[in-house]
Amino acid sequence: MRTTTARTALTAVLALGLGTMSACGTTMRDLPIPGTGVSGDTIEVKAQFAEALNLAEGAPVKVNGVDTGKVKSITVDDFTAEATLTLKADAELREGAHARLRYTTPLGELFVDVTNPATGKVLGNNSTLELKDTETAPTVEDALAQASLLINGGGLEQLQTVTEELNTALGGNEQDYRTLLDRASVFLTQANSTTQSIDLVLNSLNSLSKTLSTREETINRAVKEITPAAKVLREKTPQFTELLAEVEKFSGAANETVTATRSQLLTLLSELEPVLAEFARNKGSFDESLRQIIKGAVAADEVIATDYLNISLELHLDGIDAGGFVQGTLGGILKLLGIDPDAPGLGSILDKLGLGDLLGGLGLGRSTTSGTTGSDRSPVASGGAKGSGGGSDPLGLNTLLNGLLGGGR
């Protein structure tokens, strides 16, 4: 009796269950897919993709390369795919996280690769990664399509032609091109070693450009003001050309003159060297000597009451080779002037220069007779000979000194 009652009760329960299932429309699709669950504490994060490809429910989710969750579901809203991701709570997904759909292998399955920053606010449950934070990696189909386009319609088919033309150009000139490459390598090495100098030049040019920019108004004003001068130069171009032509002629004449007298000029300069050297050695005494002369002039002005003074002077020229002086440095100058340096007497030389009349008032004549002023005579000895002006006087110093020191008029 009990057995019959138990069987009757079990049959009623099964009938009730089947009736309930048929009434609610439950099918196998409503059963959960095995392997899609995530153990432990979890959160759900939604990720929007412009293209989800063939992403399947239960696809793995990796955060910084570590399996952290699964794809719970995928829906479509306004042509945008939205995947619900179930992640472990300890993954601590942060703001700025970036999700990307990738293949495990070229022909493998899709998974969600999430790059999680080290800093930022931790995202909570039901947070959303928007389209700007997601992307889809290129598929194998896309790669093959791009390769096909490159091979069939791109420039790759021209590579053989380029290679053939390059071989033709290099044929027989290999050594020249090797040398060119070696020199280019050396140049690039040197340029690389002088980058600091190049930077300095560029910085200087930059500074110059800034300076010119700040002074642009001044430069414009200067250009405007120089316009009249430029106009004058343009109008006077024929005259300037003529002037330059004359200067060229003068240069030619000067060059011919220098060439003709080159040896004489060199001789003169070489003979002037000891004279100038002697002046250089005694330059320290010039200042004091001039001061003494000035003091002497002041003292003479205080002592001498009249306009002249009779002086008796004896001058010894024993150590002076007057002829050598004339034949030496002075002789070179006289040769350039067309004067015979062997002519006797300074007066004759001055006469040849046309200065006899000009300096005659100073007693620079040819006469070797000493002048007489007042009641006294000024005896002058030349070349070691003493007397009242007689004897040999090759430089005509008797008349000169008598005229200057004897009060000649």
Task: Split the chain (409 residues) into runs of 10 and give each run's mean pLDDT.
Answer: 49 53 53 62 90 87 90 89 89 89 84 90 89 87 79 72 85 87 92 89 92 90 87 87 89 84 84 84 80 80 72 59 50 57 53 48 41 38 39 48 45
**Burial class, 58, CB count within 10 angstroms (exposed 0-12 / middle 13-18 / buried 19+):** middle
* Tokens found for residue 11: 């049959």
Q: Structural domain boundaries of the chain?
A: 32-141, 261-305, 309-324+334-405
- For 231-288, give the DSSP string: HHHHHTHHHHHHHHHHHHHHHHHHHHHHHHTHHHHHHHHHHHHHHHHHHHHTHHHHHH
Give the pLDDT confidence score for residue 120 in this predicted structure: 87
Give the pLDDT confidence score for residue 156 in this predicted structure: 67
Q: Say which DSSP state 67 is in.
A: E
Give the pLDDT confidence score for residue 335 in this predicted structure: 59
d(CA 113, CA 132): 15
Give the pLDDT confidence score for residue 112 in this predicted structure: 92
Give the pLDDT confidence score for residue 315 in this predicted structure: 59
Asked whether the beta carbons of 405 and 313 are under 8 A apart, the reply is: yes
